[in-house]
Amino acid sequence: MTPEGWLENARRVESPNQDDRPAGSEISLLVVHSISLPPGEYGGDAIERFFTNRLDPKAHPYFQEIAGMRVSAHFLVRRDGELVQFVPVLKRAWHAGVSSWRGRSACNDFSVGVELEGTDAGSFEEAQYQALEKLIARLRKALPLRDIAAHSDVAPGRKTDPGAGFAWAPFLARLSQA
């Protein structure tokens, strides 16, 4: 990892939707999300365009609904396992919104956000689990990550991702063996 918080093996597509974390923030949480744009469609550059404020609202009817939103994540894991980084981990990405974890609000302040290309109604690819496992191992070497949570865990009632298709039990078992 670079001193600024970029991973060398990730493709970098820098998002303007980031800012400084509050002074003294300990990055202890990783939040797992899912996203596909348009919903249910994979591939293409719509997610990258969305996180960099370049999504054409005329390109798809759903894009009109999200036009003007300013969001980002630190990482995106594509269906084939490709890792894309939008925000250095030492900066705050705008991924969790109104959120709380174990009594602490504003999860963006102390978390890393990882989007998996997918939907909360579908399953994920083995390549994504492998890439996420490697990413977490690398991040744990540089950051005091202690917890991993779903977006639905930090924003219950508001968010449902990554959804029931994310195989939490086998994934967490793999992490514990690493």
* Type and span of the H or E element at 131: helix 126-142
Residue 53 placed within a domain: no
71-82: pLDDT as tens digits: 999 999 999 999
Residue 50 placed within a domain: no
The whole-angstrom separation of Cα 75 and Cα 120 is 18
Residue 65 placed within a domain: no
128-153: pLDDT as tens digits: 999 999 999 999 999 999 999 999 99
29-84: pLDDT as tens digits: 999 999 999 999 999 999 999 999 999 999 999 999 999 999 999 999 999 999 99
Backbone angles phi, psi at 132, to 5 degrees: -65, -40
| pLDDT exceeds cutoff 80 at 178 | no
Q: List residues bridging with 112 in a β-sheet.
A: 30
Model-level pTM greater than 0.85?
yes
> How many CA atoms lie within 13 Å of 69's alpha carbon, on the beta-carbon side?
17
Residue 59 placed within a domain: no
Backbone angles phi, psi at 111, to 5 degrees: -130, 165
Domain count, the chain: 1
Residues classed as catalytic: 115
Residue 18 belongs to domain with CATH number: 3.40.80.10
Please indicate whether residue 156 or residue 178 has the higher confidence score (pLDDT): 156
For 173, the domain range is 11-36+72-177
The pLDDT assigned to 176 comes to: 87
The whole-angstrom separation of Cα 75 and Cα 91 is 12
